[in-house]
């Protein structure tokens, strides 16, 4: 990013509503220009043949202890697609989580858990796409913090695809350009997507951009 400050139009919707399970929900996560660039990148990814994209049910990370699949959405790690992060609008927009403005939102509403994010120095980014009947059963992630950004074309052609924090039993409705951030240890799930009419082209389902944050030990020379 350049040194120019970008004005954010964030709308914080949920701030520490449950002190045992604090999390934040922020609408208008991307600025209009950023959102336009992200949609262009998503449209590019949608041209990839489906048989060249992993489904979560075929990976080892989306499975229950008994081996059954927790999810069947399409997914791949964005970092592995680019030789240079600067080529990806999605990855370029990760500056937003490191701004003082966002640190204040997280610090004001998610302490003491926020400290593990503020001290994190590693990240990994995943893109998932949900179409008919795709879902994610209750699970937790294995990093420190999970940041989800939802992208969906409006008006929506489907029902479902809503997000739930299972232990406090809180549902967060799916909305385009909405960000949710919470500690990875929380159980969370996604309800099945049900199209009103099956679209002829890919790209009208539910996109989730996931950024995982974690700490990498520093070794002194």
Q: Tens digits of per-residue pLDDT, 118-158?
A: 999 999 999 999 999 999 999 999 899 999 999 999 899 99
* Residue 15 resides in a domain: no
* Residue 220 resides in a domain: no
Domain that holds residue 209: 22-214
Per-residue pLDDT at 60 exceeds 50? no
Q: CA 184, CA 20: separation in Å to the nearest integer?
A: 14
Asked if residues 63 and 70 have their Cβ atoms less than 8 Å apart, the reply is yes
Instruction: Share the mean pLDDT of the chain.
Output: 86
In angstroms, the first-to-last Cα distance of the chain is 30
Tell me the average pLDDT across 89-101.
Answer: 96
How many domains, in total, are found in the chain?
A: 1
* Residue 6 resides in a domain: no
Per-residue pLDDT at 49 exceeds 80? no
Least confident of 57-66, 68-77, 175-184: 57-66
* Residue 9 resides in a domain: no
CATH of the domain at 88: 2.60.120.620
Least confident of 24-33, 178-187, 200-209: 200-209
pLDDT for the residue numbered 73? 80
* Residue 131 resides in a domain: yes
* Residue 38 resides in a domain: yes
Task: Return the sign of the alpha-carbon dihedral for residues 67, 72, 149, 188.
Answer: negative
pLDDT for the residue numbered 194? 96
Task: Grade residue 76 by pLDDT with cuts at 50, 70 and 90.
Answer: confident
* Residue 84 resides in a domain: yes
User: Pick from 49, 95, 96, 39: which is nearest to 76 by CA?
Assistant: 49
Candidate ranges 12-16, 59-63, 67-71, 100-104; pick with highest mean pLDDT: 100-104
* Residue 3 resides in a domain: no
Least confident of 65-79, 121-135, 145-159, 169-183: 65-79
């Amino acid at each position: 990013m350049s040194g120019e400050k970008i004005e954010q139009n964030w709308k914080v919707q949920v701030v520490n509503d449950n002190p045992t399970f604090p999390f934040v929900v922020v609408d208008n996560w991307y600025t209009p220009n950023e959102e336009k660039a992200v949609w262009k990148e998503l449209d590019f990814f949608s041209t990839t043949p489906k048989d060249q994209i992993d489904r979560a049910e075929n990976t080892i990370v989306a499975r229950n202890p008994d081996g059954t699949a927790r999810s069947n959405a399409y997914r791949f790690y964005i970092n592995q697609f680019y030789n240079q992060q600067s080529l990806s609008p999605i990855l370029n927009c990760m500056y937003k989580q490191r701004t003082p403005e966002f640190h204040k939102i997280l610090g004001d509403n998610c302490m003491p858990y926020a400290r593990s994010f503020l001290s994190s120095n590693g990240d990994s980014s995943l893109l998932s796409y949900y179409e008919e009947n795709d879902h994610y059963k209750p699970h937790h992630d294995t990093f420190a913090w999970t940041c989800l950004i939802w992208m969906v074309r409006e008006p929506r052609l489907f029902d479902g695809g809503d997000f739930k924090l299972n232990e406090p039993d809180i549902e967060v409705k799916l909305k385009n350009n909405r960000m949710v951030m919470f500690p990875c240890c929380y159980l969370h799930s996604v309800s099945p997507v049900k199209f009103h009419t099956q679209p002829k082209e890919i790209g009208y389902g539910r996109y989730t951009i996931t950024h995982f944050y974690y700490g990498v030990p520093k070794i002194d020379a």
